[in-house]
């Protein structure tokens, strides 16, 4: 059965040059038709017309990702949810928000429609870096949307921050971290900039990048955030349950253009053919969690585990295999062993 639902909203006011997710720039006029399409698609699954993909109602989590889901209106969001896929209060309905695309009125509407977790794509609190990243918002917009979200009733807010940005100094990074902590969100995601669409330069060197990551780990831990996944930190019991379902390889259904699904050992992109997953996929996803995953997932990979333990990158607990602290910084080298 499927307890987790991902809904992809592939529209943006402007495509960020580093983004590799499916999205279209300047097509907001198609949102209403797209909301109808998603509503019809979800209804099809709800009433069992896709017999091999039964939804377990009420769902455990729903996640609106993008693109820019905050371009939706509350009415469009209500239309998508059909008012039937969950029984309030649902543990977690998340929506990603760009600070330039939502105000208090819209956020209040989202909250009344059932969204109870907001993920704000701040990326930086430095306007120069935001411009370099191609973001359409300012640092002031981040403060405004956070305040608006609190006033609208959101008590579960995540902030996304990037580091190792082009030309970013260590002091500038520290300013970003301190700005996040002053807001006091329930969740923080910290991502290393991965250049996709253009050549940004100069980038911080590897040592500076590692120092930035360690600084953030220490600061977040110091004020009570749990480091539960390579890039994610949360206050107690505020971990993103939807993303944990991904990392634990649970069943989830993705609807909308470009959405990914995983059900009973098969993965596919919406509209595409199902493909059987490989054991290495489960390992790579599970090792992202700091607690690791059960040892029986590594059957057939004993040599790789032995080598990585000797290198100080993996360690064993009574039940799990997980990254060491050193392994957090060299996770891609670990993952390569299981590809």
Q: What is the mean pLDDT of residues 163-187?
A: 96
pTM, full prediction: 0.94
Q: What is the mean pLDDT of the chain?
A: 92
- Give which of 110, 114, 120 is closest to 66, Cα–Cα: 120
Question: In the numeric block, which tokens belong to residue 322?
Answer: 């997980």
Cβ-based neighbours of 218, under 8 Å, separated by 6 or more? none
pLDDT bucket at 151, cuts 50 / 70 / 90: very high
Amino acid 48: pLDDT: 65
Least confident of 17-21, 111-115, 147-151, 200-204: 200-204
Length of the chain: 339
Note whether 67 and 21 are within 8 A (CB): yes
Amino acid 277: pLDDT: 87
CATH topology of domain 4-246: pyruvate-formate lyase- activating enzyme (3.80.30)
How many CB atoms neighbour CB 271 within 10 A? Answer: 8
Least confident of 31-40, 64-73, 77-86, 162-171: 77-86
pLDDT at 162 over 80: yes
pLDDT at 334 over 80: yes
Strand 266-269 and strand 24-25: the pairing is unpaired
pLDDT at 197 over 50: no
Amino acid 84: pLDDT: 58
Q: What is the mean pLDDT of residues 161-166?
A: 94
Least confident of 33-42, 78-87, 201-210, 301-310: 78-87
Gap between the Cα atoms of 72 and 84, Å rounded: 19
Question: Partners of 55 in the beta sheet?
Answer: 2
Q: What is the mean pLDDT of residues 293-298?
A: 96
Q: Where are the domains of the chain?
A: 4-246, 278-339
């Amino acid at each position: 059965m499927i307890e987790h639902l991902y809904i992809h909203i592939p529209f943006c006011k402007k495509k960020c040059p580093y983004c590799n997710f499916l999205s279209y720039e300047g097509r907001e006029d198609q949102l209403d038709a797209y909301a109808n399409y998603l509503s019809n698609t979800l209804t099809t699954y709800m009433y069992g017309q896709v017999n091999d993909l039964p939804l377990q109602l009420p769902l455990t989590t729903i996640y609106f990702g993008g693109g820019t889901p905050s371009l939706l209106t509350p009415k469009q969001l209500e239309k998508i949810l059909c008012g039937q896929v969950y029984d309030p209060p649902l543990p977690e309905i998340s929506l990603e928000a760009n600070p330039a695309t939502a105000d208090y009125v819209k956020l209040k509407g989202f909250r009344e429609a059932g969204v109870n977790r907001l993920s704000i794509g701040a990326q930086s609190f430095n306007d120069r870096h935001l411009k370099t990243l191609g973001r359409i918002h300012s640092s002031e917009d981040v403060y405004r949307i956070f305040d608006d979200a609190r006033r609208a009733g959101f008590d579960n807010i995540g902030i996304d921050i990037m580091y190792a940005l082009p030309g970013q100094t260590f002091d500038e990074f520290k300013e970003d971290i301190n700005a996040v902590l002053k807001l006091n969100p329930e969740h923080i995601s910290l991502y290393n900039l991965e250049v996709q669409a253009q050549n940004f330069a100069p980038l911080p060197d590897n040592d500076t990048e590692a120092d930035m990551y360690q600084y953030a780990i220490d600061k977040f831990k110091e004020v009570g955030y749990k480091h539960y996944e390579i890039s994610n930190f949360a206050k107690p019991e505020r971990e993103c349950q939807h993303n944990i379902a991904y990392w634990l390889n649970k069943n989830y259904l993705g609807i909308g253009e470009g959405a990914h699904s995983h059900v009973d050992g098969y993965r596919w992109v919406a509209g595409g053919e199902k493909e059987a997953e490989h054991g290495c996929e489960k390992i790579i996803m599970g090792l992202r969690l700091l607690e690791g995953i059960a040892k029986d997932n590594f059957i057939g990979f004993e040599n790789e585990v032995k080598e990585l333990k000797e290198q100080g990158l993996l360690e064993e607990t009574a039940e799990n295999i997980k990254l060491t602290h050193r392994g957090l910084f060299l996770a891609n080298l670990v993952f390569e062993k299981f590809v």
